[in-house]
Amino acid sequence: MRIRSVTLDNVRRFTEPVTAGPFNDGITLLCQPNESGKSTLFDALHALFYVKYSGWPAEVSSLQPWSGGKVAVTVELEIDGESWRVRKQWQRGAGGEARVWKDGRLRHQGDDAEHWLSSIVRGDGTGPSGLLWVRQGRVSLSVDGKYARGDEKGQEHEERRNLLTLITGAMDDLTGGKTMDAARDACAAELGQLQTASGRPKAGGAWAQAQAQVEALEKDEAHLARQADELHEALEERRRLRAQLAELEDDETRAARARDLAEAEAAFRDAERHASLVSQAATEAALARQTESAARAEAEAARALRDELAEAGGMARDAAEQAETAAKRLAEAETAWQAAQETLKTADAEEARARATLQRVTRRDAARAAAEQRRKMADMLAKAEDADRRAASALAEAGRGPDKDAVDGIEKLARAVDTARAVRDAAAPQVAVSYLPGAPEVRLDGAPVAEGAAQVVTGRARFDLPGIGALTVTPGREGAADPAPEAETALARALEVAGFDDLDALRAAARARAEALRTAHLAAQARDTLAPEGVQALRNDLARLPAPSDVEDAALPDAVAAQKAAQDASGALSSARAAEAERRTRRDAAKDAATAARSTATAAKERLDRARQAMRDLPEREDAALAERLDRLRAAAEAAEALHRERQEGAPNVAAAEARLKRIRSVIREAETRAQAAQLRLAELRALIRARAEEGVEEALEDVRLRLGAARERLERVSFEVEVLRRLDAALEAAQSAARDRYYAPIARELRPLLEELWDDAELVWSDDTLLPSGMIRKGESEPIDTLSGGTQEQIAFLVRLAFARLLAKAGRHAPLILDDALVYSDDDRIERLFDALHGAAGDLQIIVLSCRQRAFRELGAPQVVFRPADARAEG
């Protein structure tokens, strides 16, 4: 197994998904400062491989960030050259999930995924046994002598034993010579019935048959599982659509939308009116300023006054022409608006007719669906009632047979009778007769005695010998206690109490009872499938269905056409409303323009009149009076401008009010469209759910899974038998060497060159109790492990783990060696030599080093990885 990448999602400090990798073959280093997530990565890996997805233990709780939420870990693996992806997700109180993909295809999920994980990390004893996964701070190899069941160190001890056994083979020996040859021949004969010479299942053999049965049932299970998933997805979609439809058709929601629409329309009208007032104020302000300017012009020299009179005359003529043009445009805009209003009325009527038609079509289709539902529900009720009657009849039939306790008790008495008779016959003498040709038959109690047949003599017996006389045989134990009569009496009494003449009748009745119970179970399953809530509930459901109604109308279109017509009419109505609003806006603009033009014309005429009057009055007007009039006109202009600013500052946004009105109308139309689509989809889902329910998909899937489980158990038994025979054959082949030397020799060979990297002529002493080094011999003197320095213990522990990893790799059981801040007590010289040992051992290993010692681990010379934002596939 190779770890290629690890993705953490909402794990401690990583509230956004991050990925560490890629982890290549050989050594890979993740070296970052403290608190950057290295131990988090290690703990997350441990949780993925060894913590069940459906719980919320302390290991998972410690991974959840302060913000809460789901904890998810994804690992990309390579196993035997194939790509696998494993994802686990935990959620407090709501259950989690576990999924396994192979080459992008989902292969395992739920408990099946947990079993698969267990098989790859514990099936060969290569899990985090304290040998290959080194947690931060767990570097010592010293252990206690005894461990309680379930203790982590006790589990490590058992995994070390399994690991050494896998590497070195069994420890028991057999003698050589003919005994060994016979044992190996017998093993090969049994193995030959199951497999070919190349190790494949033998055609026609039990192993091949078990595999074929499992493969066939797995195909059936996959097909039925897809259908069951389709049914479950349809049920879930139906629930979701019903909730969505209830939300869309909620009376309060509709009323709220109607209120929002009315408020938006009123706001839009108010905005338009205010815009008109702003325009009017602007006109009045401009007029006031014009009046002021005219007055100031009047105060100019008499020579300029005549020019002003001429200019005022021209402006009056131009303003009159502009007012006439604006009046014409207003009339055209008014006519266009009235036409748009007529079009809107027509579109509104068409939309109402289309909606009414759609409602009639919907009622007609609903009536058809209700009639079909009533027919199918009545058929289901009839089948459920029939299954219920069959179940009751079979249960009544089963009640007439003996129960299991009675049968087991009588069968136990029958076995006691057989045992008593066997004991009696084994102790009694036996007589056998051999006849000469033509000799008369010997008789026992009047019955002829067959030649060579042994006659068991349990009491005094008389043999008649024609032509000779009689032979009486009296056993030496005559009169001794015979257990058979007492056992036979107890059996006869039990059969009498049960109401049976003999064992055959009892067994026939028991078989009839079992068959009746099976029939009752199958009938009850059929009834429960057809009526999950009970037959009476199904009757009540049928009774609650609305009575059939005749709403057929041949003139109505189909639902799709009616829906399209309603949508087209709705679109036409929306377009007509938009056109009417546009024409109204133009009409209002034209009205404002006409009003402004009239005001301008009036102002121009007034200006002309004032100029004329000024010309007439000029000789009589004094400077003081003229100055007073200018002040008054200036004050009036300023007041008009202030009013314009006030109205402009508080003016509502006409465009925003119009946009909100359009949005609310769009929301109402979209809600109606979604409700209609949900009703159509619900009709389709009802048909699909009824079809799948009538096919009994889930019942068939359960039956196939039961048979598949039995087939898999049989395959496991046969496979286990094959594996046992193979291992036995291998063990017998290697059984002539010394068991203990074979047990420790491989690990000693692997450790020797590694130890020489640090100490000359060093050797480890192994403990049979812990299966770990208990001491170290240097320069001929032995030192207990516990007396060595912390750095030396750490270095020995590191080298032992490295040696075990190499042994596993050579045995074809590759497992990653993961080191979390190991070698923290090693000095600079020895740590470099340990790095050399790592590189020397990394040829066929995957070693992942996690460390915060950035300066020290620069000398490791390994490619480095960092945490990076995760891609979408890794999260998936």
Give the domain ranges of the chain.
2-173+745-774+787-875, 178-226+700-734, 404-526
Q: What is the mean pLDDT of residues 491-508?
A: 86
Dump pLDDT digits (tens) for 145-204: 333 334 445 555 555 555 555 555 433 333 344 455 577 778 888 888 888 888 888 888
Token readout for 605 is 């005429």
- Looking at residue 875, its pLDDT comes to 44
Identify the top-confidence range among 209-223, 281-295, 481-495.
209-223
Q: Which residue bears the tokens 């199958």? A: 522
What is the CATH code of the structural domain delimited by 2-173+745-774+787-875? 3.40.50.300
DSSP letter at 20 equals E
Range in 90-104, 437-451, 860-874 the model is least confident about: 860-874
- Cα separation, 344 vs 601, in Å, equals 36
84 confidence band (pLDDT: 50, 70, 90): very high
Q: What is the mean pLDDT of residues 732-756?
A: 63
Range in 77-91, 239-253, 539-553, 585-599 the model is least confident about: 539-553
- Rounded to 5 degrees, what angle do the CA atoms 296, 298, 300 make? 80
- 3-class SS of residue 67: coil
- Rounded to 5 degrees, what angle do the CA atoms 767, 771, 777 make? 45
Of 673, 677, 668, nearest to 256 by C-alpha is 668
Dump pLDDT digits (tens) for 364-382: 877 778 888 888 888 888 9
The Cβ-side half-sphere exposure at 571, using a 13 Å CA radius, reads 7
Beta-carbon count within 10 A of 746 CB: 18
Question: Does the structure show a pLDDT above 70 at 453?
Answer: yes
Question: Does the structure show a pLDDT above 60 at 769?
Answer: no
- 3-class SS of residue 75: strand
DSSP letter at 787 equals G
Q: In terms of C-beta density within 10 A (0-12 exposed, 13-18 middle, 19 or more buried), how is residue 620 classed? A: exposed
Dump pLDDT digits (tens) for 775-825: 888 877 888 877 877 777 777 777 777 777 777 777 666 778 887 766 666
**Distant-in-sequence, close-in-space partners of 64: CB < 8 Å, separation ≥ 6:** 10, 11, 12, 71, 92
* Residue 145 vs residue 19, higher pLDDT: 19
Q: In terms of C-beta density within 10 A (0-12 exposed, 13-18 middle, 19 or more buried), how is residue 250 classed? A: exposed
Token readout for 538 is 């199904």
* Residue 281 vs residue 306, higher pLDDT: 281
Q: For residue 640, how far is the Cα from the chain centroid? A: 71
Contacts within 8 Å (CB) and 24+ apart, 669-672: 669/570, 669/574, 671/248, 671/253, 671/257, 672/570
- Looking at residue 646, its pLDDT comes to 77
DSSP letter at 453 equals P
- Rounded to 5 degrees, what angle do the CA atoms 810, 812, 813 make? 105
Range in 24-38, 114-128, 404-418 the model is least confident about: 114-128
Quickly list H helices, 735-869. Answer: 739-756, 790-810, 828-841
Question: Does the structure show a pLDDT above 70 at 832?
Answer: yes
Q: How far is CA 819 from CA 52, 137, 796, in A?
A: 24, 10, 14
751, 773 in Cβ contact below 8 A? no
- 3-class SS of residue 438: coil
Q: In this structure, is the dihedral angle defined by the CA atoms of residues 35, 36, 37 and 38, taken in order, positive or negative?
A: negative
- Looking at residue 597, its pLDDT comes to 86
- Looking at residue 483, its pLDDT comes to 75
